[in-house]
Amino acid sequence: MAKVFDTNSRVDGFRMPGEHEAQEAIWMAWPERTDSWQWGAKPAQAAFVEVAKAIAAETPVNMAVSYRQYANARALLPPHIRVVEMTTNDSWMRDMGPSYVINGEGERRGISWQFNAWGGFVDGLYFPWDADDAVAQKICEFHGDDIYQAPLVLEGGSIHVDGEGTVYTTEECLLHPSRNPDLTREEIEEYLINYLNVSKVIWLPQGLYNDVDTNGHIDNLIHVPRPGEIVLSWCDDPSDPQYDISREAMSVLLNETDAQGRQIKIHKIPVPEPMYIREEEAIGFDACEGMNRASGVRLAGSYANFLITNRRIVFPLLCKGRDEEARAALADIFPDNEIIGVEARDILLGGGNIHCITQQVPMA
């Protein structure tokens, strides 16, 4: 049984490694929720299978699956992908899974944040969310890792770390009244510093345009390829609302240094051409008060929502006009990594993308 510590990473000498550091495994969760996913989640399941296969060629994948869908998932997934029976409310593993920390002595612990389905009773996407909130501890138990229960409402997609003392987040999300309304910005920073063992918090004002489901998660706007560098979603069309958001983020980053005092190098990656829910994509969902899947709604598509997993980059294919431009940008940023694209519109229709549906377990 995993031990639950009442201290924190900073006190105990643990730190959250960057995504570019060595990984032991990747966790995903099987989609089946019929108000999140179109047509009984069958198109999404096919997309998740392709993402899992792309990752598993480099890093072992564990897929959390409910008892109802266990046989189906086992039949659709190749045998080298492990299927683990686990109850969830939905399938956004980045946000409900543990944020892992490690120390210099080969030890690993998980952080279980408080999960409230991106907003609780203020603007959360669904209720109940208790099964999702229990996933982090279950994964730690699976690996035999001890755990910190952090007293902070936070999703894994709302933070990016560089592994060397810097965490990036957005004011739009972490200061939203649906997360921790009783805490000040300074108190939230203190929790981040203590549980992630960082020394600097860099706040960007907003997330990607119309990323309303998550209230502006950082992982849809930027990625951290390595310490001292940022991949920033970029838009050159002044008529697009993303144009100003990208420039505002760049202005903040250019006027900041990271925890090690470095000027931050910025790599631009294009946003897809504006993507909207098509008429045929607005049907086939069960009714849900928390999620807007109406025809004509702009999707929060982003090539920054990719996964770094050991020597491989798995990124979403979203738009034929920009996919190859995004691939070329990633190849320049990651010259030593294999760049793999996976068709991901059916994931985007659920509200996120490849980074959102994955969570890494670092090498201890």
What residues are labeled active site? 356
Helix, strand, coil share of the chain (percent; to 5): 30, 25, 45
Q: Using CA of residue 232, residue 238, residue 241, residue 245, what is the dihedral sign?
A: positive
Residue whose C-alpha is closest to residue 362's, from 61, 23, 56: 23
Q: Give one DSSP letter per residue of 19-52, joined into a string.
A: TTS-EEEEEEE----TTTSGGGGHHHHHHHHHHH
Q: What are the backbone dihedrals phi and psi of residue 158, each rounded to the nearest 5 degrees, phi first?
A: -90, 0
Q: Please state the separation of Cα 179 from the chain's center in Å.
A: 17
Element (H, E) at 76: helix 70-76
With tokens 């702009």, the residue in question is: 298
Rounded Cα gap, residues 148 and 142, in angstroms = 15
Rounded Cα gap, residues 118 and 92, in angstroms = 11
